[in-house]
Structure 1
Amino acid sequence: MTGYRTLKWETGQVTMQKRGAMLRDLSVNLPDGQIVRPLHTAPWVGKDNVSELDGLMQGLSGEWPCVPFGARHDDLPPSWPRSLGWEDTFAHGYAAHHDWEISASAGSLDARIEMPADHPVHSLRRRVQPEANGIVLDLWILPRRDCRLPVGLHPVFALPDDPLRMRVEVSGATKVIAHPETPPPDPTPALPGAVSGSLDVVRDTTGGVVDFSRLPHSGQNETRLMALGGNGHVTITDQLTGIATKLCYDAARFPFVMLWISNRGRAAEPWSSRHLALGVEPVRAAFDLGTCVSADDNPVSRLGEATAFDFAANREFHTTYTISVHEPSTASR
């Protein structure tokens, strides 16, 4: 996999790769001279054997759009619908696994990809522009035909080795639901499908609770949670330095935030029990369960929010979101 474009400005820089139009190597220069790199890059990226990996795994990095979001899941409780209709054959969508056309100007990186002729989406576009303490991102979706699809934004943030150093807050969240897949494919203490009041009291399989608002954990787990009721702001604060990274998004469009806590929980190659990252994914979707489940009536949609978008042919969808870094004195603003 080759092909990158880098955008530089006075207080930072960011790189976009062709595969999935993924962002990587975002760095922000703070006024006190510190350089913060909030986004994650998988530990195998850039290694000799990367060509053996499929699709998005070759360059798994900090942020990309998922259209549609998720993939087919079959190991679900009876209360969930079956995957009986159309599904994108690629997890998180064709565009996440293929190369985009990227162009660079003095003030932005722009990317575009066309989908196969049988795909319900004709094309995607995205743009990244700098701001003083981070980046502004735009996504456009052009449907080929009327369709009902789950969509997600997929920022993945770096986590340090120090246990419990980072504090995670999904502002306004009213409840947290654990992924329903039974049994879970990877080790997790979270009770499948359990509803909890907040991230710090997620119900576990022993009858107790686990605090997922402080990361990383000292053990190994791979946990997927979904926060409901967020108001469009997620903050990840480094409790050692006080520096905060903020994700701001349109909560009316994306009413849920899926949290992928990758805490060295996957043992198979290339994960090798070493992958440490936090996905903070604004979605209109039923977890990552794919198009059929999200487009159908399901336990999440029964809570009052649709889990898929109703797209009209040739009517372009647009959303804007930001990732920014703040010093301790400005993190609360």
Structure 2
Amino acid sequence: MTQAIAAKGIRIDFAPRGGVLQRMEITDEATSIAPLHRAPWSRADVPVNAPPHEEWLAGDFLAAPFGAKGPHGLHGLPANGDWRVTPSGPGTLRAILEGEVQGATVIKELSLQDDHPFVYQRHLFIGGSGALPVANHAMVSVPNGARLSFSRKRWWETLAEPLETTRGRSRLAYPRRTEDAAEFPAADGSSVNLHRYPWGEAHEDFVAGIEDPTSRLGWTAVVRPTEGDLFLSLRNPAQLPMTMLWHSNGGRDYAPWNSRHTGCLGVEEGAALPLLGLSSRETPDPLTAAGQPGLVTLDPQGSTDIRHVIGAIRWPSGQTVAGVMLDGDLLTITGDWGAERTVALRGSWLGIGQQGAQKPKPAADWDL
């Protein structure tokens, strides 16, 4: 059963099974925007040996460890387990993962604020040991195509192997790395423009962009011209230096996908070096060499706080986003032909300019 929280102009639904931010609905300029994707199947369509999260694939969830081979699949226990919702204040939902991740207790907190078109999302790892790949896993519904823009990236890189070969199709070349997002190598020898969705007909692909170390604010903008709106993903690039794109557009022919899972764009922000097909094999790897974290490191005696913001606004011009700038508690989005919107944002919440996010409160202060 889902639970809802709301503030003026925004409402979200949370599903404790899988810890899914299942739906986000924003009212902006008298228009309702619901940008998150939901898979077109029921639980009965999902094979018994599939990861549990495929039964309820929708919205946004936490993947940790991301890409690891284990009993909880490629997205880990947070995406496949149960979360216990605990009491919290107005406009806030807090939940605790049943079970541990590398010995850490994991707390999820989703909060809203009146007239802010954003969900403020944080995950707190209390204790635990070692380092692990972590990413948020927002899925945007783009049935009519989209235009993508990003904060400055050093390069783009695919996995070691294609997502699909014998039971489906992948469009990109694997493994490959290039600095130009507009001309990423394709499997057939041509090139693909990563700034556009889709990249081709009936394909399943994954590619990651590595942030420029000088970036102050990490952002991804997905313009949906037909819908007249804009999805935004914001993060502190000093903590989460990777933007990973999952194109799921009819490229899997087996159940439950059956070539019908189309128009889905995953915008997955995180630190997940092992998913880079070339860079993960280099010593030192190019993230570490530039002082960027390739993994999230847990603190056995303390906690690790990961923050991420997603939201949406009306964007009737359909212009490609040229820039996103944070100034105090205001976020200004500009288009490549002069469109501009300024919206409210908790300016200090992401801990921009710090090595990580805001310092969390002591574990004793949480209702565990």
Q: Distance in 1 between matches of 2:47 and 2:191?
A: 41
CA RMSD of aligned residues (A): 2.7
User: Which residue, out of 307, 310, 315, partners 1:328?
Assistant: 315
1:197 aligns to 2:179 (yes or no)? yes
Q: Distance in 2 between matches of 1:89 and 1:247?
A: 26
Aligned residue for 1:140? 124
- Which structure 2 residue ranges, 5 or more long, are not aligned? 317-331, 335-341, 343-368
Q: Equivalences for 1:227-246 in 2 at 5 Å?
A: 227-229=209-211, 231=215, 232-246=218-232
Q: Which moved more, 1:233-242 or 1:298-307?
A: 298-307
State the 1:133 CA deviation.
Answer: 1.1
Q: Distance in 2 between matches of 1:268 and 1:201?
A: 30
Residues 51 and 184 of structure 1: is their aligned pair in 2 closer, same or farther, counting only changes over 3 Å? closer
Amino acid at match of 1:319: I
- Residue pair 1:243, 1:325 contacting (<8 A) in 2 also: yes
User: Which residue, out of 27, 33, 46, partners 1:29?
Assistant: 27
Residues 128 and 306 of structure 1: is their aligned pair in 2 closer, same or farther, counting only changes over 3 Å? closer
**Secondary structure in structure 2 of the residue aligned to 1:259:** strand
Q: Distance in 2 between matches of 1:170 and 1:212?
A: 10
Aligned residue for 1:57? 54
Aligned residue for 1:75? none
- Which structure 1 residue ranges, 5 or more long, are not aligned? 73-86
**Secondary structure in structure 2 of the residue aligned to 1:252:** coil
- Residue pair 2:160, 2:276 contacting (<8 A) in 1 also: no
Q: Equivalences for 1:88-237 in 2 at 5 Å?
A: 89-103=72-86, 105-116=89-100, 120-131=102-113, 132-144=116-128, 146-160=129-143, 162=144, 165-181=145-161, 184-185=164-165, 186-217=168-199, 219-229=201-211, 231=215, 232-237=218-223
1:272 aligns to 2:258 (yes or no)? yes
Q: Which moved more, 1:255-264 or 1:51-60?
A: 51-60
Q: Which moved more, 1:308-317 or 1:264-273?
A: 308-317
Matched positions, count: 307
Q: TM-score, normalised by structure 1?
A: 0.83
User: Which residue, out of 242, 254, 268, partners 1:281?
Assistant: 268
- Residue pair 1:174, 1:198 contacting (<8 A) in 2 also: no
State the 1:41 CA deviation.
Answer: 1.1
Which structure is higher in RCO with an 8 Å CA cutoff and minimum separation 6? 1
Q: TM-score, normalised by structure 2?
A: 0.75
Aligned residue for 1:84? none
Q: Distance in 1 between matches of 2:41 and 2:289?
A: 39
Percent identity between matched residues is 21
**Secondary structure in structure 1 of the residue aligned to 2:232:** strand
1:247 aligns to 2:224 (yes or no)? no
State the 1:182 CA deviation.
Answer: 5.7
State the 1:188 CA deviation.
Answer: 1.5
- Residue pair 1:243, 1:331 contacting (<8 A) in 2 also: no
Amino acid at match of 1:150: P
- Residue pair 1:294, 1:308 contacting (<8 A) in 2 also: no
State the 1:88 CA deviation.
Answer: 5.9
Cα deviations by residue, 1:169-191 (Å, 9 ceiling, x for unpaired): 12111321122216854412211
Q: Equivalences for 1:9-20 in 2 at 5 Å?
A: 9-20=7-18
Q: Distance in 1 between matches of 2:267 and 2:108?
A: 19
Q: Distance in 2 between matches of 1:98 and 1:54?
A: 10
